[in-house]
Structure 1
Amino acid sequence: MAISVYISPASATAAQYDEIIRRLDAAGAGKPAGRLYHACFGFGDKLQVFDIWESQQAFDKFGETMIPIVQEVGVDLGQPMVEPVHNLIQG
């Protein structure tokens, strides 16, 4: 079952986000298996992320690489909101 993941850190800047993406790419996890959609939005130090994943297992596998990188960059993800996807319309 597909899941949605919404992450709203207390503070995350564009520079921090860009560094996380750079490190994920370098680790071979820039386009992880099972991720269907990714968006980063917001402004200033209030960036947020919304993803759609094929399954909780795919998200958990990505987290093994992503979480240490995010911690090294100094972003506290807080508690992500994870909910099942009822419908996904592309386009």
Structure 2
Amino acid sequence: MAIVVVFELPGMTQAQYERSAEMVAGRPGPVKSPSDWPVAGLVSHTAAPTSDGWLVVDVWESEEAFQQFGETIIPILKELGVSDAQPRVYPVFNAVTR
């Protein structure tokens, strides 16, 4: 079952987000495709600045796929000084894509 994963990251900067994306992709520059992720199963990724940090909303094909990705992203965020990254996870009821 697909899931939505929401990270609200107070205090995270755009520079930290951009660096985390490079570390996830394993190369310089922004992530542009699900193939940039180190594990399969990403459906969509959206990131935006907030008044006090950063917001990331992902849709994953399954909770197992996200858990596998979590083994990569959580240590990256900690390394970048984003210490309280606790995602909220919701089952997808409906998803509309192009």
Instruction: Confirm or deny a common fold (TM above 0.5).
Output: yes
CA spacing shift, 1:64–1:72, aligned 2, 3 Å: same
Q: Out of 60, 68, 71, which is 1:61 matched to?
A: 68
> Are positions 1:16 and 2:16 aligned together?
yes
Question: SS at the partner of 1:86?
Answer: coil
Give 1:61's aligned amino acid. Q
Q: How does 1:21-40 map to 2 (within 5 A)?
A: 21-26=21-26, 30-31=36-37, 32-40=39-47
- The TM-score normalised by the length of structure 1 is 0.88
1-side partners of 2:63 and 2:78: how far apart? 21
Other-structure match for 2:4: 4
Greater strand content: 2
Runs of 4+ deviating beyond 4 Å = none
Q: Residues 77, 54 of structure 1: CA spacing in aligned structure 2 closer, same or farther, 3 A cutoff?
A: farther
Report % sequence identity. 39
Equivalent residue pairs, number: 90
Unaligned runs of 5+ in 2: 28-34
- CA-atom RMSD in angstroms: 1.8
Aligned 8 A contact 2:77 2:85 in 1: no
